[in-house]
Each structure stands twice: as C-alpha cells, then as structure tokens.
Structure 1
Amino acid sequence: MNVLLTRKYGSSLKLFQQIFKNLNKAKKVNSSFSTCCKHPRVNRLLIKVGVRHISTDMAPVFTVSPKGHLLVDDKLHIKLTGLPKEKKVTVYGFLEEEGKKFESNAWFETKSDGTVDLQIDPSTGGTYTGVSPMGIFWSMVACPGQLEGIRMMKKNMDTPFRTSVSVHDGHLNLGEVRVNSDGALGSTLIDRYYKAPGVRVEEVTDGRLRGKLYLPPGPGPHSGVIDLFGTVGGIVEFRSALLASRGIASFALPYFLYKDLPQALEDLDLDYFMEAIDWLLGRRDIIPGGVGVIGVSKGGDIALMMGTYSPKVKAIVNINGCTFCSSVRMKYSKGDLSAVPLQIEKFEVLDGKIVTKKALDYKPEDILHVWNHDAKVLNILGEDDMCSPKECIRDLKSLYPPEKTHNCIVAAYKETGHLVEPPYTPLCRMSYHKSYDLYFWWGGHPEEHAYAQEDAWRRTLDLFHSTLLPTVVTAKL
C-alpha cells in the first residue's frame, strides 16, 4: 500500500504517516486507514497538499516465506490476501537481468476469503497451468521485441534475480498485462540469490589453472567439487555459487576462451583437469581423499574422462554429456584420447536452427571406461535433448561390469532438454552459440523440464553430500 501511495502523493505521505502515528498515540482516532483519512486534521493536510480524494481500499497483501536471504533453489510459499472474493485475477511475474527481460502469468480465481495461495491453488491459464508453487518463476518466457533465443543467466553473484510479482483484475494474457502495467491491484519484489551470506570467493591463478573457487561459510574442511560447463567457453559461476551455498566447495573451472587459456577446443589437454584435482585436494580447507566433478554438455564429457583416468574422482554428475571423447581429440601425457568427430553433414535444420543429436556416430568401443575406478556416477539424461545423442548414456550403463553397475545411475527425464540447470529457472529451449556463430536447439518442454531440474538438483546434492565425506581413520591400539 505504501509503495502505491508514494507513487501518487510523493514525500507528503511521510507527513501524513507521522500525523497518523501521533493521532494513534493520543487515541484520538482508531487505527484504521479510512478513519484516519476522515479525521479533520488529516483531511485538511490532504487538501493542503492538493489531494482531493484518496482511496481507502487496502491493497492486496503478498506473504512470501521463508523470509530472509533467499536462494534460487528455495521453494517459496507465496500467498495473496485482501483480494475481492470469488473473482478472476492474474498473477504476473517480471524479471530483468542485464537488459534481458522475462515475464510469466498465471490465472486464478480468488476463494471465498479473498485469497490466492500459489502452493495449493491451480493456475487455469497463462505460462503454466495446474498447481506449482514456483511456476511463476520457472515458466518465464522472453518478453517480445528482443533478440531471438536469449537465455536467463546470472553473471554477477553478488546481485539477486529480482522478480516483480503483481496481481491484476481479470484473466489477462501477457500482452494485456503489459498494456495495463499501471493497473496492478498490488505488487511485491522477490530477490533470489545464487550466493548465500558468508560464501567466500577466491580468484584462482596458479600455474596454468584459472577460475574461481567458491567456499562455504566456516573454516572447513569442505567437500570439494570441480564445476565444468560446455563449449560456450569462458567462466560460468552460478552453479558453483549455489553449491557453496549448500555446503560444498566448488571450483568453477574454465578451460578455453578465458584470460590466457586456450582459444580453441583443439588445444585442450586432460593434464590441465588432472592438475585441478591435485590443486583442490592440496588445500587444507578441502576434505582429502577425493573430489566430485559436475559437468554439462562438453563439461560432462570431460567429467567422465577425469573419472576414467583418475582414482581421485569419487563422484561425477554428467548432465547430458557424451560418454565418449566428442568432437575434438583430448591431448594427454599418458596418451591422447581420439575423438568421435562431429559430422556437419548430419546436422539437421529446424526453423533455421541447428539440431546436432545425430551428428556423432560413435561405436561401443568409443565409450569411456569410467568403471576403471569406483567413482559414483549420476547421469542426468534429457529425453528431449536435441544436442547430444542420449543413447550413449544408456550404452555406458550397459557396458559396466555387473559387480560395478550400482556405481552408474541413469536418471532419465521425459520431455527434458539439454540444459538442465538448478531449479526454478526457466527452460532455454534454443539459443545463440557464440563459439559456432549459429543458433542451436537444446530441446525440452517447460513443465517437464522444470520437474527434471528440481529432481536432478536434489540428486546432485545428495550424491556429493553422501560421497565426499571425511575419511575416518581408526587408531591402531
């Protein structure tokens, strides 16, 4: 209510509030807003500052829990009260990140007590339908009038994803809300961070290693994870920030197109990643004995290579990565890994964008022998992945020796695309790939993809927390 009044009446509201406060203290009026507006002294003040009429209708109240510093993967309970009873309303979400704008909407009918509860009430239309407490976040789509294929991605971990959530009269589509943006019945701002208070960040420049280490609060020692992304290049930090916020130290490790690192994938060598394992385990604030690795796309390939050739890798999360060395050979001091080449002639074109899932013609003998060591492997498989050949993940599982097959888990998700990220962020079905200067299809359908992201993140945290534990040494008596 104060936000709406301040827009209308500016700083004079402060004087009005002070009079209201003083009158209440003197018990000259009761505490209701409308009674205060009718009091002669207040009424004279309003006329004096040019206000001839002020609505005494209370704005709807948004209740968001939990309170405090919210993280992106927190499941929120959003409830609205003070709405007209049994009326159609639209809840609208808007977020702008680095100039990129996203929006969502959901249709509800208020109950007999004038409330809407996103945790239990179904949306009957909009960018999502059904009951979904976080639907207003994960169902966001890019606002019109922007570049095609933009992706919501956080680059500054010190700032939140700030979402404006408003409620409007009637069932409105996105365009109708935009046209009547000043007609909200009420609104609130919800800030969600990737980085929790107390998480520390260290720039890594050690030998040829580059990147950023995110450390949980406290002295440790902490479980240690190496975090890899795909052929987008550069450094991507949001997942490491969130892992550290959940108690896992995470080394965001770029491997090309970052500072003085190689400028092309062809210059990669596996020794760089082995050095990262030793560097992380050499720290006193990291639990000794082994690390975890998480990677998406090409980062998933590399995570599996690291697990194949290093017994120090104890847990791997492969998110839609190939289970063989793909596209370019990987140099290695103990013998280079030959690659299954990307066959450009097998690219498919859909609406002018590239589909690559059939462009890697691998054979069973190309599959990495990840079972060489006893790493626990969680494979996240999107059944609608339009980038990687999904069959190779199941082939990896089938090739495991029977006595080790329990170490390889395949979590397959229907209608889920390539880019499975932490939960409650929108699906990126297609985007521009700067390394290839082309638009690529990633696949996925919003509702199913949202479920996959939530479940896969839970599994990821469970794997790292359960596997990367301190080694208990029993005293010899």
Structure 2
Amino acid sequence: MLQLLPSAKCLFDEPIQVKVTGLSPRQVVTMRARLIDEKGAVFSSLATYRANGSGEIDLDRDASLGGSYVGVEPMGLLWSMCTETLPKMFQKTNSMNPQIVTFSVHDEGNRVLAEMMNERFLMGDGVSRVFVKEGNIRGVLFTPPGEGPFPAVLDLCISKSEIRACLLANKGFVVFMVDLYNDKAFNGKEMQLDYFEEAMDFLKLQAKVGSKGVGIMANSKGAIIGLSLAAFVPGVKAVVCINGRNTNSSVVVCYKKQEVLSTLMFDYIKLINPDSFFVIGRYVFKNPLAEKLKASTVPIERAKGHFLFAASEDDLHWASKAHMDGMVERLQCHGKENFESVSYPGAGHLLEPPYRPYCPSSFQGAEGTLVMMGGEPKSHAAAEVHLWKKIQDFFRTRLSCNTEQIQAKL
C-alpha cells in the first residue's frame, strides 16, 4: 500500500511523507513520480529502495539506492523530476487548478504494485484570485482569507507564472502579480517605472492591506526593476532581490518621462557556447564600472526600505554572487545597514518556491537560444526550501501592519 501523508491533497510548497507498506521483507522496488505540465511536457523521476524487515519503506527515513538521486531525500521524487529529452522549464500559469503528480511503486519486473495521485494546490481555502484591469495596470490580485490587516507585496513576474504570488497569499500576504513585459510598461525600447508605481498605488488601496508601504519580490531582470523602484519611487519598504544585479541591461529605464538608467549592452565575444545547443551568459555584460557605463547602475543607496539579497553561487546565467557582493559593498560604502544577504553553493539561476521540477536550462528570448541556468539538483532544491521561508520571514519583519490603515479605508 502507498501512503501520502498527512494527505494526498496539499499546497504546492508543502512537503509530504511518502510511505509504502505490505512489501516482502527486504524487497527491492522502484518508486516513480510523474506529472504533465500545462504545455504538455512530461516530467518524471525514479529511485530504487529496499524495504526493511517489516516490508516497509519510508522516504523520510530510508535512503534511495540509485536512480534520479541517492540518499535520504524525503521530497527527492519531486525536485529531481525532469523531462526525458531536451530540458524544459516546468510551466504552471493557471493557479485555479492543482498540479497532479502520480506516485507509483514498481517491482523488479516493472509491474505496478501501487499508485496514488498527489493533488498539489496553489490556492488554499479562502484565498481569492481577481484579474485586474484598471487604468493602465494589468495583473492578478491574490488576497488571503480573513479580515487582515495583511502586508502588501508586488510580485514582478517575468514568466506570467502565478505560482509565487499565489503561494505567498496562502501565508497571509495580499499579493499583486504583474507581468514585467506587458505592453503598458515596456514598448520594446523603454521600461516605465510609472506603470509599476501605479500598480503599487492600486495595491495599497486594497481594503485588507494594512502595511504602510509595499514589498517587492522579483528575480533576474525583474530584480533590476524592483531595485529601481526602491531607489526612485516612494513607498517601497522591502525588496527581495533573487539572483539580480543593480546594473540595467537591454533597455533604458524611465520615470516621470525622464531616463533614469541607461542600458548596459551585451558583449557577445564573451558568450560561452560549450556545445551546439546551450550558451552560458554569465560573462556577456560589459564592465559596469567603466566611466561611460556608470549611468546604468541603480543607485540603491537612495532606497529608504530594506533589502534581502539572495544569490546562487553556481548561477551560469548571471554572475549573481559577484553582483550581490557588489551591491552589499556599495551600500556599506554609503554607510547603509538596511540589507541582509544569503548565498547558496550549488544552486542555479531559477530559484523558485520549492518542490517543482529542477530546470537546468531555459529558452531566453533576448539571447534567442537555450541558456544554461546552472545548479546541482539536490543543492538547488535545498536552497529553494531555505529561501522560501526566509522571504516570508523577511516580509513579515519589514512590512508592519496596523488596523488604523484598514479602518481609514473603510
């Protein structure tokens, strides 16, 4: 018998305990996990286990002998899933439906001994989801159940995925997810901070929001915009910068009809192509310390709020750890202490909420090719678990709430 505890239904970012009973003493079996994402991509994993003398296997206790991972890894069947052919990024944009994962147990002849479905929900009971089309802004607003007051977080998303925003709403935050590359903010040549300021203003007006300011959560290119908002736009109290940098690239950034950041261009000579399919973009940017390129650097020392910098040390897309160290040094040189930082050895570029399939590479429109993201699956998975909790703790600490804010709106 296969058991998923405490229930076969859970939130996407919650761990489960996988147990098997009723096997022969010391029987060797293969455990498998499989899912199909919204684009039809099939992700799967497998691991070999040996039952104990009572014919039982407990993934919280027992070590995998081989397969997609080895050792004691309670959630290994989830984070080690990958596609069988060309690596693909797991896609989940519809937060209304759970992600179905099929767990199964097979004997040495590959006969199915047991099978069970795990429904992994993005939206918990009482969380509301509303598509917003107001003024210039477009996005999706997630609100937790209860009266509040709740902290407000703006999620700058670069992949139109609602996973991060929705899961954070389950933790007691009002989260507004906006697409970084929408046509109101981005015209192909310029990125307008005014659009995101309008989104912040909309978020602060929500009835259940009790924080005095707004938190911003962003990674990669979105983190550059998040840092820019903290530097130039009032009301940003906390910024989570995941594998970002404070040097702007690709397009100029404008605010109040003025260019505030020039663009740091690619140096394609430094583009590393280890084979015919993938490229490493870690070193493609020109030196931001060059005098003529300093106008591309975000003056983060101007920010009134606090920063949480997170960097992956095995990021092959950007030199994230070096960028983070540079931002920390910049703040310290200006006498600032409004930051904390964390780095993760063995983690790659795409740090997301935990327990999703690992993504070693991704197609990038700017480069027009498959880009290596880096990371070792086990280390990357551990980093995602740690960072996800740290993000929640950081926002709870830095986004104070009071009932007077709620009463004033009512």
**TM-score w.r.t. structure 2 length?**
0.91
Q: Check 1:106–1:406 CA distance in 2 against 1; reply closer, same or farther (3 A cut).
A: farther
CA distance in 2, matches of 1:143, 1:354: 20
> Are 2:160 and 1:219 equivalent residues in the alignment?
no
Q: CA deviation at 1:101?
A: 0.4
Name the counterpart of 1:420.
351
What is the rounded CA distance, in whole Å, between the counterparts of 1:288 and 1:463 in structure 2? 14
| TM-aligned CA deviation for residue 143 of structure 1 | 2.7
Note the 1:61-460 alignment, pairs <5 A: 61-67=1-7, 69-98=9-38, 99-144=40-85, 148-170=86-108, 180=110, 183-230=111-158, 232=159, 235-256=160-181, 258=182, 260-261=183-184, 264-333=187-256, 335-352=259-276, 353-364=278-289, 365=294, 366-390=296-320, 391-401=322-332, 405-434=336-365, 436-460=367-391
Partners of 1:427 and 1:445 within 8 A in 2 = no
Q: How far did residue 263 of structure 1 move?
A: 6.2
Higher helix share: 1
Q: How many equivalent pairs are there? A: 395
Q: Look up the equivalent residue of 1:401 and give its one-letter code.
A: Q
SS of alignment partner, residue 395 of structure 1: helix
Aligned partners of 2:216 and 2:239 also within 8 Å = yes
> Are 1:195 and 1:245, in contact at CA under 8 Å, matched by a contact in 2?
yes
Match of 1:43 in 2: none
Check whether the contact 2:253–2:259 (CA below 8 A) recurs between aligned residues: no
Evaluate the alpha carbon distance shift between residue 197 and residue 68 of structure 1 in structure 2; reply closer, same or farther with a 3 A threshold: farther
Letter in 1 for 2:254: K
Q: Is the 8 A contact 1:426 1:446 kept in 2?
A: no
Identity %: 31
Q: Give 3-state SS (helix, strand or coil) of 2:210's partner.
A: coil
Task: Note the C-alpha offset of 1:118.
Answer: 0.4
Give the residue type in structure 2 aligned to 1:309.
Answer: F
Query: Does the 8 A contact of 2:224 with 2:246 survive in 1?
Result: yes
Larger radius of gyration: 1
Q: In the superposition, relative to structure 1, how do residues 275 and 402 fare at CA in structure 2: closer, same or farther (>3 Å)?
A: same
Q: How far apart, in 2, do the equivalents of 1:463 and 1:78 lie?
A: 31
Q: Show the counterpart of 1:24.
A: none
**Hey, what's the Cα distance between the residues in 1 that align with 2:190 and 2:9?**
42
Unaligned stretches of 5+ residues in structure 1: 1-60, 171-175
Shift of 1:437: 3.0
Unaligned runs of 5+ in 2: 405-410
Q: Partner of 2:253: helix, strand, or coil?
A: coil
Aligned to 1:22: none
Helix, strand or coil: the match of 1:246?
coil
The change in CA–CA distance for 1:63 and 1:273 in structure 2 (over 3 A counts) is same
Q: CA deviation at 1:77?
A: 1.2
Residues 295-327 of structure 1: CA deviation (Å, up to 9, x unaligned):
111001111111112341111111111222222
Structure number with the bigger relative contact order (C-alpha 8 A, sep ≥ 6) is: 2
1:215/1:472 Cα in 2 relative to 1: closer, same or farther (>3 Å)?
Answer: closer
Are 2:9 and 2:118, in contact at CA under 8 Å, matched by a contact in 1? no
User: Within 2, Cα distance between the matches of 1:404 and 1:278?
Assistant: 30
Q: With structure 1 as the length reference, what TM-score do the two structures score?
A: 0.79
Letter in 1 for 2:31: V
Find the counterpart in structure 2 of residue 469 from structure 1: 400
